[in-house]
Structure 1
Amino acid sequence: MKQNRLIYVVDDEADICTLVCDELNRFGYETRSFNTGGRAAQAIRRRLPDLCIVDLGLPDMDGLGLVRELCAHQGIGIMILSGRDSTPDRVLGLELGADDYITKPFEPRELVARANSLLRRLEQIDNQDGESARRRASFADWTFDPGTLTLTRSSGESEVLSTAEAELLDSLLRAPRQILSRDQLLGERADPFDRSIDVRMSRIRKKIETDPKNPSIIKTIYGAGYMLAAEVRWSQ
């Protein structure tokens, strides 16, 4: 793991910011904390962090608005840390592109472990070089570039995936016409609940399927997992 990764912590509770920052600092991370979404947004425009940990109950805005803004910046990890533990809030956060969702109260060491895992996946993407960095996967009417997390349709329109969405699609593309279970797709990631796979799959389908409710590219194999039903061609 690269040292001095920059992490922003956005929470209106000063003791939470201090707790999270102190724990992350112990593991070599550089941190900055903000008690409003507006201040965090200004800092993000000046310098992009590697990871942003966002509370949803901010005093000046809904944290989901900040998550939307962060999703416009490629390569930033997004972790929601919130007292909202309802399924709709979790699902909405993931649908907007957050990579992880942790509820309060939380165990600081677990938060660090999940931050480590997320940043490690981002680093693997950053470190793609040589032939693997230039390889793109073509399937159905789409081309996926793992280096930029971008999906491009043959007509020219493009979609940028979140880190978690791109990793999920990449796993399917590397095993076409094979059934992958949820455990295989999760890998080492410590997701807060199994529904996260379904939410991200739904987001990908909305981008690539003509009819997301009746998908023809990514099939659900009930009781087993998911399967990419299209031929995949890898090229430079």
Structure 2
Amino acid sequence: MSETDAPQVVLVEDDPEVVRVVLLALEGFGFRAEVFRDGASAQRFLRAGRPALCIVDLGLPDMDGLDLVHEIARRPDCGLLILTGRGHTADRVMGLEGGGDDYVVKPFEPRELVARVRSILRRRGSAPGAAQEPRRQARFAGWNLDCAAGVLRGPDGREQLLGTAENLVLQALLRQPNQILGREQLTGTPELDLPERSIDVRIAKLRRRLELDPQRPRIIKTVHGVGYMLLGAVEWY
């Protein structure tokens, strides 16, 4: 694979030692990397650049890294890994809820970081040698989910772009309709590595999208003390 074929990764990080370690790891495994020391310079690059993935520190010198995370998350063509010293559960939930595909806390093992980068790119079909997955769609309760694009279309025809984790949680429920799935079943899949609490957040977001009354859900039901269940027939095509 030539250098121009290698996936491009943008690193937004102001700590020189972290930059050095991450660059050595990424370049050692065949990735092209661009480094930006603050959010503003990364924003300027991203207006025209099309990286496969961004690694963003939340503690940037010129802005809250979560603001940059929200901006990048609106790009359906770019993966997003949060790399930060903020290890509290609330920070992790906010980062993932804000659109991050994964969350790594400093200090970190460089090889694990690369493995997480590869995992995100593999899910998006951007990893070296990865084949594009066929577009699969599911109909349920008047709704349609395009799994590959992460697009949810309502009975009125309006479309919503789901975050990566939302898309994967909904797919897991659709693959086993009318069956109870525990939180550990949803968090334990190879594609989805999230804290159990974050699953509850994703379910709440999905209900706000799908349900006429999210407080009295008719599509995604809670089985108290056990998990969640999607009710109704699902047609795949």
Same fold (TM over 0.5): yes
Aligned to 2:116: 114
Aligned to 1:174: 175
Say which SS state the counterpart of residue 85 (structure 1) adopts. Answer: coil
Provide the C-alpha distance between the structure 1 equivalents of 2:68 and 2:105, rounded to a whole number of angstroms: 18
Provide the C-alpha distance between the structure 1 equivalents of 2:79 and 2:131, rounded to a whole number of angstroms: 12
Provide the C-alpha distance between the structure 2 equivalents of 1:183 and 1:24, rounded to a whole number of angstroms: 31
Say which SS state the counterpart of residue 125 (structure 2) adopts. Answer: helix
Provide the C-alpha distance between the structure 2 equivalents of 1:192 and 1:153, rounded to a whole number of angstroms: 27
Say which SS state the counterpart of residue 46 (structure 1) adopts. Answer: coil
Aligned to 1:128: 133
The alignment-based identity, stated in percent, is 46
Question: Which 10-residue stretch deviates more, 92-101 or 117-126?
Answer: 117-126
Cα shift at 1:49? 1.4
Question: Which 10-residue stretch deviates more, 105-114 or 54-63?
Answer: 105-114
What residue identity is the alignment partner of 1:141? G
Cα shift at 1:142? 1.6
What residue identity is the alignment partner of 2:13? D
Gaps of 5+ in 2: none
| Cα distance per residue 1:110-154 (max 9 Å; x no partner) | 21122122211111897123xxx2x42111232111132101112
Is the 2:186–2:192 contact (alpha carbons within 8 Å) kept by the matching residues of 1?
A: no
Aligned to 1:140: 141
TM-score by length of 1: 0.88
Gaps of 5+ in 1: none
| Pair 1:17–1:87, CA change in 2 (3 A) | same
Runs of 4+ in 1 over 6 A off after TM superposition: none
| Pair 1:57–1:24, CA change in 2 (3 A) | same
Provide the C-alpha distance between the structure 1 equivalents of 2:208 and 2:96, rounded to a whole number of angstroms: 14
| Cα distance per residue 1:7-45 (max 9 Å; x no partner) | 111111122122112111111111111111111112122
| Pair 1:233–1:8, CA change in 2 (3 A) | same
Provide the C-alpha distance between the structure 2 equivalents of 1:60 and 1:140, rounded to a whole number of angstroms: 46
Q: 2:37 aligns with which of 17, 23, 35?
A: 35
TM-score by length of 2: 0.88
| Cα distance per residue 1:40-97 (max 9 Å; x no partner) | 1121221221111111111111111111111111132111111112222211111112
Q: How many residues are paired up?
A: 231
Is the 1:10–1:36 contact (alpha carbons within 8 Å) kept by the matching residues of 2?
A: yes
